[in-house]
Amino acid sequence: MSIIEKMRLNGKKIFVTGGARGIGKSVATAFAEAGADLAIVDLDIDEAKKTAAELEANNGIKAIAIKADVTKPEDVDAMIDEILNVFGRLDVAFCNAGICMNIPAEEMTYDQWRKVIDINLTGVFLTAQAAGKVMLQQGGGSIINTASMSGHIVNVPQPQCSYNASKAGVIQLTKSLAVEWAKRNVRVNSISPGYMGTELTLNSPSLQPLIEQWNSAAPLGRMGKPEELQSICVYLAGDTSSFTTGADFVIDGAFTCI
């Protein structure tokens, strides 16, 4: 069997949080193209249904849409129950849902701080924990968490201390879970994207001055594309990455090198 054939995800059952659009949709598309069945999890259930239908029609796989708030344990539990009812098992979890608020630290309210931490860090913990429980019973699985280069550097000029702190937490959470579950065949890794040119980012007038500054500082002179995250996620989801756990993959066009 060739390495390309070995990297196929045929028959694997995967959920993607924040999967309706952006990075989540792009990676879900790659999973579907590689042969996996998918649960697209998002608060925007209408958009999630559109994405699921599109992936199913284009790739001949099964895709379902689930509405869930990743900060609520009861929603996460219901999400897992629905996935198991439909698919019977869970092989891969892409814990990707997240938000960012650019607010000076001295002006940030407690509620604003909590919202970012709850979604970006607690949400990753709850979904990874729920997935891990299933995978430990099954005898294995792969969890991929979305961190950020912001877990390694302090972004400028935008003030985003809550985002930076949350993503640094995701990286350390990933390492901790990987060590706890390594001998039970549940692998946990994270990706740390740099600035990504998603449709939402590129079409935001308020971000245009920042994008110009980011690009002028970037070694490659541009933002990344969501599809440039696809191959690393397919690798981490598949069996060829069986010796890869506890790793954080920085995909930032060398931005953190400067």
Q: Give the catalytic positions in this structure.
A: 148, 163, 167
Q: Which of these, 39, 86, 14, 59, lies nearest to 233 by C-alpha position?
A: 14
Find where tokens 């999973």 sit.
31
Distance (Å, whole) CA 188 – CA 197: 26
Distance (Å, whole) CA 160 – CA 100: 7
Distance (Å, whole) CA 189 – CA 94: 10
Q: Which two tokens stand for residue 67?
A: 């509405």
Distance (Å, whole) CA 196 – CA 118: 22
Q: Which two tokens stand for residue 23?
A: 């990075």
- 208 by DSSP, 3-state: which? helix
CA distances from 199 to 8, 128, 159, 243 (A): 28, 27, 22, 34
